[in-house]
Structure 1
Amino acid sequence: MSAVTTTVPVVAPEVSTQVRRRRRLSPGRRLPAARLVGPVLLLAVWSAASAAGRLDPAAIPAPWTVVRTGAHLWTAGTLPTDILTSLERAGYGFAIGLVAGVALALAAGLSRVGEALIDGTVNLNRAIPTLGLIPLFILWLGIGESFKVAIIAIVVYIPIYLNTHAALAGIDHRFVELAEVQGLSRFAFVRQIVIPGALPGFFVGLRLGVTGSWLGLVVLEQINATSGLGYMMFQAQNYGQSDVILVGLVVYGVFGLVSDSAVRLIERRVLSWRRTLSS
């Protein structure tokens, strides 16, 4: 009697036809015009509170009152002149601070001698309140435009230096060793290793410097100035014109938001090769 061999099929475990969705930990896609949501919401709350009579018009005028005041100042020629004066002061100070911050950061980041001479001095300057230097700079440079530009330059160069120098110090030493093995020249090393490694920190400092230039300008234009947005706001304070003060604040805010957005746009274009959480 022959034995009958029975083959028992191996039953594979049941595999779900539904593919398990991977949990997304990133913030997701960037929303269009996302940075305008907050200001628009604030404007809506301000308008609703003014329309409901919850705000004192003498202290916080309604948005439409501020718009009418701004239009009147523009047609009278006062606002354009003050805006151009403020832009000129901020532009000169920002340009000087930008060049100084980058140059000092490169000198300190690429040389131990430069770091010994520069880094401690800059950090000492950072520890001293910049606006506290105003009386000394008035004695040195007079009460004209020079001291205002100099103070703005100091406000700008410190964050640019600190962030660029930190980015330089954070470059992986293996890249330096690789450049030495490849026999790169000093110029090629700076162009291929130093600049790409320092750009993220530089743009962070640049954004802080742009914002700092406007913050410093608000204070400086209220000190012995005869024109500018800060001077306009200071004069409005003496006459109790809160709507004019709000016009100046709105213009400062718009300039700050636009300049910061421009730096962000340049940063995304220049650093498009990076894959980060924000992108």
Structure 2
Amino acid sequence: MPPVPSSTPVAAGPPLALVDLPSDSLAPTRSAGVAPGRLASRALAPLLLLGAWQLASATGFVAREVLPPPTDVAAAYGELISTGELQEALPVSLARSLVGLALGGGTGLVLGLCAGLWRRGEELFDAPLQMLRTVPFIAMIPLFIIWFGIGEGAKIALIYAATIFPVYLNTYAGVRGVDPKLIEAARVFDLAPRGIALRVILPTALPSILVGLRYSAGVALLALVAAEQINARSGIGYILINANVNQRADIIIAGIILYALLGILIDIIMRAVERLALPWRGKLVLA
């Protein structure tokens, strides 16, 4: 015969407490540094490409006059360093790109904030900028030469014109993409419009703004390549012009690779700026 359940009530224990998980257990993980395995995997493709390039030149599959091997390009770097041309060209080209980026990015940021925050600003600036951004900046070279001559002014103006629009578009989209509920919550706390812009809208739009700035940094280098073909007397473009006159394919390839290395350097710097400006945003990866 089954036992009869007791009618005595069971004493209730203390209420279950929620487990206090550390905040970093739910947050996206951020790697403390680059592991050696990741460095090796990143370097594998460039090393394979260099090996195939050297093998193609050594076996005669590609003529040295058409595509000099990496050893000749490395020797060209040694020649440029020994003569001091590379040390003189790098600061000049970097200064051009950074000045144009600062002016163009600053203008795009101001115009994007004006168009994003104020309806009158959108009416004044958005339509003209949307039309101008479809014009290739290379097509503006003859006009800039007429306006600014063949000196540094035309080169800076070309980089300036190329870097405005990425920052403007991303700033405008970031400001207009702020969740309206955040703005309503700020109004509930009686924040003035200026406080809403500084404490809610700008921090929320900052990731998009930084993406625009990072993209403009890459565009600045593309514009630099075109700008330094305008009667260059210094810089990397000047080295490439002389190499073209003297039929030095090794120096031309060395200059092209140098532009690519500058692009990687600027991208690394922009990634560091993003990590400093957005410390709360983790790095999400699937694997």
Shared fold (TM-score, shorter chain, > 0.5): yes
Question: What SS does the aligned partner of 1:189 have?
Answer: helix
Q: 1:170 to 1:253 in 2, by over 3 A?
A: same
Q: Does 1:105 align with 2:95?
A: no
Give the letter for the 1:163 counterpart. Answer: N
Determine which of 127, 131, 134 is the counterpart of 2:134.
Answer: 127
Give the letter for the 2:275 counterpart. Answer: R
- Equivalent-residue separation in structure 1 for 2:61 and 2:131 (angstroms): 47
Does the 8 Å contact 2:155/2:230 carry over to 1? no
Identity %: 37
Match of 2:257 in 1: 250
Match of 1:211 in 2: 218
Give the letter for the 2:230 counterpart. Answer: I
Residues 92-123 of structure 1: per-residue CA shift (max 9 Å, x gap): 11110121111111111100000111111111
Give the letter for the 2:241 counterpart. Answer: F
TM-score by length of 1: 0.84
Shift, 1:234, TM fit: 2.1
Q: 1:40 to 1:90 in 2, by over 3 A?
A: same
Shift, 1:196, TM fit: 1.6
Q: Does 1:241 align with 2:248?
A: yes
- Equivalent-residue separation in structure 2 for 1:139 and 1:94 (angstroms): 22
Match of 2:148 in 1: 141
Residues 34-63 of structure 1: per-residue CA shift (max 9 Å, x gap): 654443343233233334433221111111
Determine which of 258, 275, 280 is the counterpart of 1:273.
Answer: 280
Q: 1:45 to 1:76 in 2, by over 3 A?
A: same
Match of 2:178 in 1: 171
Q: Does 1:222 align with 2:216?
A: no
- Equivalent-residue separation in structure 2 for 1:218 and 1:81 (angstroms): 17
Q: 1:50 to 1:134 in 2, by over 3 A?
A: same
Give the letter for the 1:190 counterpart. Answer: A
Unaligned runs of 5+ in 2: 5-27
Question: What SS does the aligned partner of 1:100 have?
Answer: helix
Shift, 1:129, TM fit: 1.2
Match of 1:91 in 2: 98
Match of 1:188 in 2: 195
- Equivalent-residue separation in structure 2 for 1:168 and 1:41 (angstroms): 44
Match of 1:70 in 2: 77
Question: What SS does the aligned partner of 2:203 have?
Answer: helix
TM-score by length of 2: 0.82
Residues 203-234 of structure 1: per-residue CA shift (max 9 Å, x gap): 21112111111111111111211121112112
Match of 2:61 in 1: 54
Residues 149-208 of structure 1: per-residue CA shift (max 9 Å, x gap): 011011111101111111111111111111111111334322221222111111211121
Number of matched pairs = 258
RMSD: 2.4
Give the letter for the 1:213 counterpart. Answer: A
Does the 8 Å contact 2:97/2:220 carry over to 1? yes
Q: 1:40 to 1:107 in 2, by over 3 A?
A: farther
Does the 8 Å contact 2:154/2:227 carry over to 1? no
Match of 2:123 in 1: 116
